[in-house]
Amino acid sequence: MKTLLGLFLLLALTPLAPLYASSPSEKVVCSHPGERAKWLPETRIREIFGERDFTQVKLKISSGNCYEFYAIHQDGSIVEAYYHPISGQVMRYNRVAASPGAVTYQSTDR
C-alpha cells in the first residue's frame, strides 16, 4: 500500500518537477569520466544516501558524473540528491515536502 501511495504522490507532483528539478545552468559536476575506477560501489552509495528510509529510489549517473538519486521518503516528501562518486559527499540535496494543501521546498548545495 505504501508503494502505491508513493507512486500516486510521485505522479501527482510530476507537474511540479520542472519547478524543483535542477536546471541545465545549475549542473552539478563531480568527477571526470577517467576517475571511474575510484568510484564507490553502488551498494555503498545507496547506504550513504539512506535508501532504507525511502519507499522508492531511482539511482542514475548524472551528466556531471555524480550519483543522482530521485526518491520518495517515508514521510511522502520527494528528494533529488547528488553525491560525489568518490568521496560520497552530498553535492546537492533538494527536498519537496508533500502535505495536503501545501508544498514546501528545501534545497542544499554543497
Pick 108 or 75 by higher pLDDT: 75
Evaluate if residue 50 carries a pLDDT over 90: yes
Q: What is the mean pLDDT of residues 21-27?
A: 59
pLDDT band at 34 (very low <50, low <70, confident <90, very high): confident
Residue-wise pLDDT tens digits, 14-23: 444 444 455 5
Q: Rounded to an integer, what distance in angstroms lies between the CA atom of residue 99 and that of residue 110?
A: 27
Task: Please state the rounded mean pLDDT for residues 65-74.
Answer: 95
CB 55 within 8 A of CB 40: no
pTM tops 0.75, yes or no: no
The per-residue pLDDT for 98 is 75
Higher pLDDT, 97 or 91: 91
Q: Rounded distance, CA 92 to CA 107, Å?
A: 7
* pLDDT given for residue 71 in this prediction: 97
Number of domains in the chain: 1
The grid cell for 55 is 519507499
| Domain hosting residue 35, numbered range | 2-109
57, β-bridge pairs: 71
